[in-house]
Amino acid sequence: MANFDVIVIGAGPGGYVCAIRAAQLGLSVAVVEGRETLGGTCLNVGCIPSKALLHATHSLHEAQENFAKMGLTGAAPKVDWARMQDYKAEVIGQNTKGIEFLFKKNKVTWLKGWATIPAAGQVKVGDDLHEAKHIVIATGSEPAALPGITVDEKNVVTSTGALSLPKVPKSMVVIGAGVIGLEMGSVYARLGAEVTVIEYLDTITPGMDAEVARSLQKILARQGLKFILGAAVQRVDPAGKAKSRVAYTLRKDDSEAAIEAEVVLVATGRKPYLAGLGLEALGVEMTPRGQVKTDAHFATNIRGLYAIGDAITGPMLAHKAEDEGMALAEIMAGKAGHVNYGVIPGVIYTTPEVASVGKTEEQLKEEGRAYKAGKFSFMGNGRAKAVFQGEGFVKILACKETDRILGAHIIGPAAGDLIHEVCVAMEFGASAQDLALTCHAHPTYSEAVREAALACGDGAIHA
Ligand code: FAD
């Protein structure tokens, strides 16, 4: 039996960040991870591999669409799918090995295997029992099942299967127009698959600023993605021969229809992964949605037991898990850890990228809050036009009375990076005018953020 100050269960972005910070703060720390490699969903089958495939296929798209326009001619690149998969694996390997290195550097012990919590203060891994003052559940999430659909990870896949298909399919149906569905749909559309996205709601990317969602749908449709909205998938009949059949009902008139595809990607959301931990026997309180219930300091109802990341409430995002991991480490070390849930950006890594933070216009209207919206199109941004990315816009929402920034929504080049200047501004309680008066280098995409801030006041210059 070994004793630690902290045992973290799960080495995803929540768990590994929590462990490293706790060790940096002087605590003795072990992390239990059952997977062969560290980094969790994010590094192994989530953020990182999906971005590798998005980058590779975006490059292909650039070559096909824009190279000739710039006078770059010659043989068009061909897709070597096996090599692209190797590239993805190399990227994953570099990142997961990087976490192993950080564990060694910070003296975090990796306990290899699957953990159970037999009693408060105890963690069992295989036959070994360990004790800890603090135990952190950071076990993440898994794809949520949909009734009537059996996933075989070959013809009917989750995102995990979609990242490693044996070949590029000719056709793909994506069920769910959320972030993962649109990102993976983009990847395969760029590789030449005929991609149809079926969504239950009448808009894509539910919860996102409606104007941005409409704009994204139009752009993706031009890139070849087809959309069937307001459609409830009833069942998927697995491939007897070459194709699976997806049966759905159109909500507007209850009419029934079906579509066939070589591969069906089920991307309808994720749910906490808590199997085998023994939480029920321990009496851990859960939310109605099957998440571990925690207080504002990530504590469960069991003394010394905490939970973070996808296993608890809130957006299922790697950086949200990381922030919670860091805050909890500080709390366990006797400091004041805190996460500002009002300023957590969300990004979709399609082309163009989409990013948002804070309130949407719809939310502000619902709250009855007086606001002003400053908008600037990337068509007025010289840099964006030079790289064929004039589509899209920046929208900044500010309080009508105080000018304080309440939210920002960007669709356009590097939106996932641009959003952070607004995040920093919001953390500092800045006004739109503060952003507008900040000198921005020319020519950069970020000038569009400044122009949107200017549009909250006396007006943008290049509009
Ligand atoms: P996880 O990363 O899920 O890690 C949990 C770890 O715990 C796993 O490694 C698991 O093996 C381990 N574990 C579970 N139970 C036990 C046990 N009993 N014993 C030992 N180990 C255990 N988020 C973003 O912010 N940006 C993105 O671009 C993005 N892209 C995504 C793309 C895809 C395809 C997917 C699926 C997800 C994506 N996400 C993205 C979401 C992101 O991956 C998750 O929000 C994040 O990984 C959650 O981190 P976590 O630490 O809570 O859990």
Q: Name which of 6, 11, 2 is nearest 304 in CA terms.
A: 6
pLDDT band at 130 (very low <50, low <70, confident <90, very high): very high
DSSP 24: H
pTM comes to 0.97
CA of 216 to the centre of ligand 1 (A): 26
CA of 222 to the centre of ligand 1 (A): 32
* pLDDT of 1 strictly over 90: no
CA of 28 to the centre of ligand 1 (A): 24
Is residue 271 a known part of a binding site?
no
Q: Name which of 339, 434, 392, 453 is nearest 209 in CA terms.
A: 392
Q: Cβ neighbours of residue 80 under 8 Å, at least 6 residues apart?
A: none
Which atom of ligand 1 is closest in space to residue 47's alpha carbon?
A: 30
Task: Say which of 297, 338, 442, 462 is annotated catalytic.
Answer: 442
Please name the residue whose Cα sits nearest to atom 36 of ligand 1: 46
Please name the residue whose Cα sits nearest to atom 35 of ligand 1: 46
Please name the residue whose Cα sits nearest to atom 11 of ligand 1: 35
Domains of the chain: 2-143+271-333 (3.50.50.60), 156-268 (3.50.50.60), 346-456 (3.30.390.30)
pLDDT of residue 248: 98
Is residue 310 a known part of a binding site?
yes
Cβ count near 141 (within 10 Å): 21
Please name the residue whose Cα sits nearest to atom 32 of ligand 1: 46
Please name the residue whose Cα sits nearest to atom 37 of ligand 1: 46
pLDDT by residue (tens digit) across 55-95? 999 999 999 999 999 999 999 899 999 999 999 999 999 99
C-beta of residue 230 within 8 angstroms of C-beta of residue 252: yes
- 442 tagged catalytic: yes
CA of 309 to the centre of ligand 1 (A): 8
Which atom of ligand 1 is closest in space to residue 141's alpha carbon?
A: 3
DSSP 30: E
pLDDT by residue (tens digit) across 415-449? 999 999 999 999 999 999 999 999 999 999 999 99
Is residue 43 a known part of a binding site?
no
Q: What is the residue-wise DSSP string for 127-164?
A: TEEEEEEEEEE---EEEPP-TT----SSSEE-HHHHTT
Please name the residue whose Cα sits nearest to atom 34 of ligand 1: 46
Q: Name which of 395, 315, 393, 391 is nearest 361 in CA terms.
A: 395
Is residue 177 a known part of a binding site?
yes
Please name the amino acid found at residue 19. Answer: A
Which atom of ligand 1 is closest in space to residue 308's alpha carbon?
A: 52
Is residue 280 a known part of a binding site?
no
Q: Cβ neighbours of residue 126 under 8 Å, at least 6 residues apart?
A: 113
Using DSSP, state whether 381 is helix, strand or coil.
coil
Query: Which residue ranges have their beta carbon within 6 Å of ligand 1?
Result: 9-15, 32-35, 40-42, 46-47, 50, 114-115, 138-141, 159, 180, 273, 276-277, 309-311, 316-319, 321, 349
What token pair was written down for 118? 């037999």
pLDDT by residue (tens digit) across 327-340? 999 999 999 999 99
Is residue 318 a known part of a binding site?
yes
User: What sign results for the dihedral spanned by CA atoms 45, 142, 212, 217?
Assistant: positive
Percentage, residues of the chain above pLDDT 70 = 99
E-strand ranges in 290-358 read 305-307, 346-348, 353-358
User: What sign results for the dihedral spanned by CA atoms 446, 320, 362, 225?
Assistant: positive
Distance CA(70)–CA(64), nearest Å, equals 12
Which atom of ligand 1 is closest in space to residue 40's alpha carbon?
A: 9
pLDDT by residue (tens digit) across 342-375? 999 999 999 999 999 999 999 999 999 999 999 9
Query: 124 exposed, middle or buried (CB, 10 Å; 0-12, 13-18, 19+)?
Result: middle
CA of 442 to the centre of ligand 1 (A): 38
More confident residue, 206 or 312: 312
For tokens 């207080």, name the residue.
Answer: 295
User: What sign results for the dihedral spanned by CA atoms 187, 190, 196, 198?
Assistant: positive
Q: How far apart are the first and last CA of the chain?
A: 67
Which atom of ligand 1 is closest in space to residue 325's alpha carbon?
A: 51
pLDDT band at 238 (very low <50, low <70, confident <90, very high): confident
pLDDT by residue (tens digit) across 239-270? 777 899 999 999 999 999 999 999 999 999 99
Please name the amino acid found at residue 236. Answer: V
Q: Cβ neighbours of residue 73 under 8 Å, at least 6 residues apart?
A: 67
CA of 422 to the centre of ligand 1 (A): 26
